[in-house]
């Protein structure tokens, strides 16, 4: 399913909001997917969510860390992301 530009924007906002609410906790994309899908009125895939996370990482609003005992990638909001969300 291809998202419109507006849906991609809404998804990014929802992902950032979900990360900020849980800051400084870090979540897997699957955990974020379940949290964000409740907030949006359109369907999206986990790949869309990962694309949103990567864009947020490029803007320095989010970052990922890897579990030191495994390979699971966890995402969390950065300080910049928290401030951006609080100011909007």
Per the prediction, the chain carries an average pLDDT of 95
Q: Region 64-85: what's the mean pLDDT?
A: 94
Q: Compute the average pLDDT of residues 5-18.
A: 98
Using alpha carbons, select from 75, 6, 86, 16 the residue that is nearest to residue 41. 6
Class of domain 5-87: mainly alpha
- How confident is residue 25, by pLDDT bands cut at 50, 70 and 90? very high
For the chain, the structural domain boundaries read 5-87
What pLDDT was estimated at residue 67? 85
b vs e for 16-51, b when ≥16 Cβ sit within 10 Å of the residue's Cβ? Answer: bbbbbebeeebbebeebbebbeeeeeeebeeebbbb
């Amino acid at each position: 399913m291809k998202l419109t530009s507006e849906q991609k924007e809404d998804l990014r906002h929802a992902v950032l909001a979900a990360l900020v609410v849980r800051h400084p906790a870090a979540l897997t994309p699957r955990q974020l997917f379940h949290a964000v899908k409740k907030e949006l009125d359109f369907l999206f895939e986990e790949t869309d969510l990962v694309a949103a996370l990567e864009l947020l990482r490029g803007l320095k609003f989010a970052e990922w860390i890897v579990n030191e005992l495994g390979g699971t990638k966890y995402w969390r909001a950065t300080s910049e992301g928290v401030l951006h969300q609080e100011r909007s």
